[in-house]
Amino acid sequence: MTALCRLDRAVGMVLRAVPTACLAALFALLLVNVAARTLQFSGFAWFDEVVQGLFAWMVFVGAAALWRERDHFQLDWLPGSLPPAQARLVRILICLLGIAFLVAMTWYGATLTLKARALTPILDLPTALFYVAIPLSGATMLAYSLADLSSLLFRSSPQKDPA
């Protein structure tokens, strides 16, 4: 196994572990919050801040995990109904459009993160901690999209890695 394959596997494990941990933490927080409110406890003032941060990380890193494994929602009827040469061109065009979107997402996400100076009202956490999930996930998805484009341009068909 090459170093690049080992790195890809490690990235894949992290991309699956982070959203899973966020979901587990969200579930635990929700359970504790419901129990506290049921027992007439006023709740936790910091609850909303933590939920927003965990949800942002879960969504963006989860999207990157799906992107890496090519498991995100996609319609492939058009490339599937075309002859191989035309289907390949359509896949290249779709990949280029995805790359354009990811460049914009990563750029504006990084700009938002760098400009964020606000602190959360209760925990005094920098809001940039929540926003940084956007450019990190965007850069990860961009790297995998560039690899997919390379595969489309220089191989006969992209390989789906089951890892």
Phi, psi of 119 (to 5 degrees): -120, 150
pLDDT over threshold 70, residue 159: no
Q: Which residues pair with 126 in a beta bridge?
A: 119
- Reading the block at residue 10, the tokens are 């490690």
pLDDT over threshold 50, residue 162: no
Distances (CA, A) of 131 to 51, 102, 103: 14, 15, 16
Distance CA 128, CA 37 (A): 30
Question: Virtual CA dihedral for 98, 142, 26, 48, nearest 10 degrees?
Answer: -80
- What is the average per-residue pLDDT within 108-121? 96
Q: Compute the Cα dihedral for 145, 106, 17, 19 and give only its sign.
A: negative
- What is the average per-residue pLDDT within 82-108? 95
Question: What's the pTM?
Answer: 0.86
Distances (CA, A) of 34 to 37, 47, 54, 58, 86: 5, 11, 18, 21, 55
Least confident of 35-39, 59-63, 64-68, 157-161: 157-161
